[in-house]
Chains A and B, each alone.
Chain A
Amino acid sequence: MRPILQITSLVALIALTLPSVIFLAGRLELNTVKWIMLLATIVWFVVATGWMWKDNGAEKS
């Protein structure tokens, strides 16, 4: 489960950044960039919390 969460987190971070790079290249609308960034943000916080929070807690105890 943990590797899946980690890969999904990584994909979310790529999805967060890539649209702005494509926008810089002039191949994407700004509104689309904003929506993808928001979606990637939600995915990142949901998924990364799943494994990073647990990590912190486990190591702390």
Chain B
Amino acid sequence: MDTEQQSKQMQAGSEFEREPVPKSARLGFKSFIGMYAGEHCAGTELMIGPLFVAAGVSAYDLIMGLLLGNALAVLSWMFLCAPIATRSRLTLYCHLEKICGRKLVTLYNLANGVMFCFLAGAMVTVSATAVGVWFKFPMPGLNDLYPNSVGWVAAVAVVGGLIAIVAAYGYQTVARFANIAAPWMVLVFLAFGFVGLRQFIDATGFDVASLGDAWQLAKTHIWKGGAPQEGQVKFTFWHITFFAWFCNMAMHVGMSDLSVFRFAKKSWYGVASSTGMYVGHFMAWISASILYAYQLHLDPADTDVLPGPLAYRAAGLAGLLCVIIAGWTTANPTIYRAGLAFQAISPKSSRFKVTLLTGAIATLAGMFPAIAMKLLGFVALYGLILMPMGAVIFVDFWLIRKFGLASSYAELSGKTFNWAAGLAWFVTLATAWVLVKFAGVQIFFVSLPGWFVAAFLYIVLSKFYQNKVRPSTAA
């Protein structure tokens, strides 16, 4: 079975759901390279790159920030997620259930499912912008929060509806199609960058004969820095670094990819995530940002971030197809996973109906451009919400016994809601909210201190909780 497909199945929980992955089912390094390269070159990259430009990022801050942030993300996969995955060989949900208990995991599933829905909504939004190129209805602007035309609502409804139906009927078929599309998509993204660069050279009359000249062009015309567009947060080197590091926080620090790396033969296979980071979150973001910078260069008043028209201008119909397919193939597993998260709450409900309903919610969310236009903040929020449980898993696996406490406490005590883990989660989120709301800390930066808060709280609260609720076997 193809690795990407298999890993998606794994994440969907259809294999070895309640047991450690056996030796015979473990996968080699090559399998993870392809999976990560494909999965992180998605429709949303076409929003994120331009939003960096709208945030007034400079060339040095962008390039160096992405290099460092992506390296930190890879290290997080390598040293936080993969070592636990290859030792426990359990899915995230199974692992969490042992620590947190069934009811708290249900709550986690709900949070995860809702965030997946909104993320899928942003992907539907991206695909729908391609429809606008054909049908020429008014599309949302950079600061639009609500749908702004009937045509837009209809386009999102059709695109989202189709994605939802396909996800419900034929998830595996789209997953197979996604495998085929992945190498093509990566190269179309690369072509976006080359075409955009040439367009800049022609439009500015800049003479580029060396790498130094190209850097000069980048600094003075493409990523000029300065003030952000109206309504956007100014991005510096640190913003880019933390964004690149934490945009997949739910997966590495948040441990969602335990479900993937439990199939890895060795924990160092975590380094395979670098293909996703440096293809999708470096090359693709840079390429997409060049297209938007060129649009601003032509007309500074045209601040709309619309992947469809951007891609069409650079690569014609192939570009437009890339936008549709990138949005579709990534929204498909996202809707499916959200459906599975919801289904875990109500296991008796039909997977088909739950996926359809989830797709309908994602479609509704996709009609509101706020999510896509504020994607940088939303992605940071997504990571933040799920991160504390990653800290809980890390502490429970490596540290808790050193404090004389029991790990996998819910399993040991038979409790369905481990209050120590639950409170560590809620109080960390409340602390982050206070920091953002009242201390002026931007959402991109709260997750790092938040991780330590969650880890500390889990240990302290477990000290009280485990004394109070003694498991019969440990007493």
Which residues of A are at the interface with B, using a C-beta cutoff of 8 A?
13, 16-17, 19-21, 23-24, 26, 30-31, 33-35, 37-38, 40-41, 44-45, 48-49, 52-53, 55-57, 59-60
**Pairs across A and B, CB under 8 Å, 6 listed:** A16-B187, A23-B198, A33-B315, A45-B181, A52-B179, A56-B176
Q: In the complex, are the beta carbons of A38 and B316 less than 8 A apart?
A: yes
Chain B contacts of A33 at CB under 8 A? 191, 195, 315
Chain B min CB distance to A14 (Å):
9
Instruction: Please give 13 more A-B residue pairs, beta carbons under 8 A apart, in addition to A30-B195, A34-B317, A56-B1.
Output: A16-B188, A20-B190, A23-B195, A30-B199, A33-B195, A34-B318, A37-B188, A37-B191, A38-B318, A41-B321, A53-B176, A53-B180, A60-B5
Residue from B172, B194, B317 with most neighbouring chain A CB atoms (10 Å): B194
Q: In the complex, are the beta carbons of A34 and B315 less than 8 A apart?
A: yes
Chain B contacts of A13 at CB under 8 A? 183-184, 187
Chain B contacts of A34 at CB under 8 A? 315-319
Q: In the complex, are the beta carbons of A20 and B184 less than 8 A apart?
A: no
Chain A min CB distance to B52 (Å):
22
Chain A min CB distance to B317 (Å):
5
Interface string of B194-214 (1 = CB under 8 A from A): 110111010000000000000
Which residues of B are at the interface with A, using a C-beta cutoff of 8 A?
1-2, 5, 172, 176, 179-181, 183-184, 187-188, 190-191, 194-195, 197-199, 201, 315-319, 321
For the complex, what is the distance from the CA of A38 to the CA of B176, rounded to whole Å?
22
Known contacts A34-B316, A44-B184, A17 near B2 by CB under 8 Å:
no
Chain B contacts of A53 at CB under 8 A? 176, 180
For the complex, what is the distance from the CA of A31 to the CA of B195, rounded to whole Å?
11
For the complex, what is the distance from the CA of A36 to the CA of B187, rounded to whole Å?
13
Chain B min CB distance to A61 (Å):
9
Least CB separation from B195: chain A residue: A20
Least CB separation from A22: chain B residue: B194
Least CB separation from B190: chain A residue: A17
Chain A contacts of B181 at CB under 8 A? 45
Q: In the complex, are the beta carbons of A41 and B5 less than 8 A apart?
A: no
Q: In the complex, are the beta carbons of B315 and A37 less than 8 A apart?
A: yes
Q: In the complex, are the beta carbons of B179 and A20 less than 8 A apart?
A: no
Please pick, from B172, B180, B187, the residue contacting A17 in the complex, using a CB distance under 8 A: B187
Chain A contacts of B195 at CB under 8 A? 20, 23-24, 30, 33
Chain B contacts of A21 at CB under 8 A? 194
For the complex, what is the distance from the CA of A55 to the CA of B315, rounded to whole Å?
30
Q: In the complex, are the beta carbons of B191 and A45 less than 8 A apart?
A: no
Please pick, from B180, B199, B315, B318, the residue contacting A48 in the complex, using a CB distance under 8 A: B180
Residue from A21, A24, A48 with most neighbouring chain B CB atoms (10 Å): A24
Least CB separation from B312: chain A residue: A34
Chain A min CB distance to B345 (Å):
29
9 closest Cβ contacts across the A-B interface? Answer: A34-B316, A20-B191, A37-B318, A20-B194, A24-B194, A59-B1, A24-B198, A56-B176, A41-B318
Chain A min CB distance to B283 (Å):
12
Known contacts A52-B180, A53-B176, A59 near B2 by CB under 8 Å:
yes
Chain A contacts of B172 at CB under 8 A? 60
For the complex, what is the distance from the CA of A22 to the CA of B229, rounded to whole Å?
33
For the complex, what is the distance from the CA of A47 to the CA of B102, rounded to whole Å?
47
For the complex, what is the distance from the CA of A17 to the CA of B455, rounded to whole Å?
47
Chain B contacts of A48 at CB under 8 A? 180, 184
Chain B contacts of A17 at CB under 8 A? 187, 190-191
For the complex, what is the distance from the CA of A53 to the CA of B176, rounded to whole Å?
7
For the complex, what is the distance from the CA of A17 to the CA of B192, rounded to whole Å?
10
Known contacts A13-B184, A16-B184, A17-B191, A56 near B2 by CB under 8 Å:
yes
For the complex, what is the distance from the CA of A24 to the CA of B315, rounded to whole Å?
13
Chain B contacts of A19 at CB under 8 A? 191
For the complex, what is the distance from the CA of A55 to the CA of B2, rounded to whole Å?
8
For the complex, what is the distance from the CA of A50 to the CA of B1, rounded to whole Å?
16
Please pick, from A24, A35, A40, A56, the residue contacting B5 in the complex, using a CB distance under 8 A: A56
Q: In the complex, are the beta carbons of B1 and A45 less than 8 A apart?
A: no
Residue from B201, B315, B317 with most neighbouring chain A CB atoms (10 Å): B315
Chain A contacts of B2 at CB under 8 A? 55-56, 59-60
Residue from A17, A31, A35 with most neighbouring chain B CB atoms (10 Å): A17
For the complex, what is the distance from the CA of A48 to the CA of B188, rounded to whole Å?
16
Q: In the complex, are the beta carbons of B5 and A16 less than 8 A apart?
A: no
Least CB separation from A53: chain B residue: B176
Known contacts A13-B184, A49-B180, A53-B176, A37 near B316 by CB under 8 Å:
yes
Chain B contacts of A31 at CB under 8 A? 316
Chain B contacts of A16 at CB under 8 A? 184, 187-188, 191, 318
For the complex, what is the distance from the CA of A1 to the CA of B321, rounded to whole Å?
28
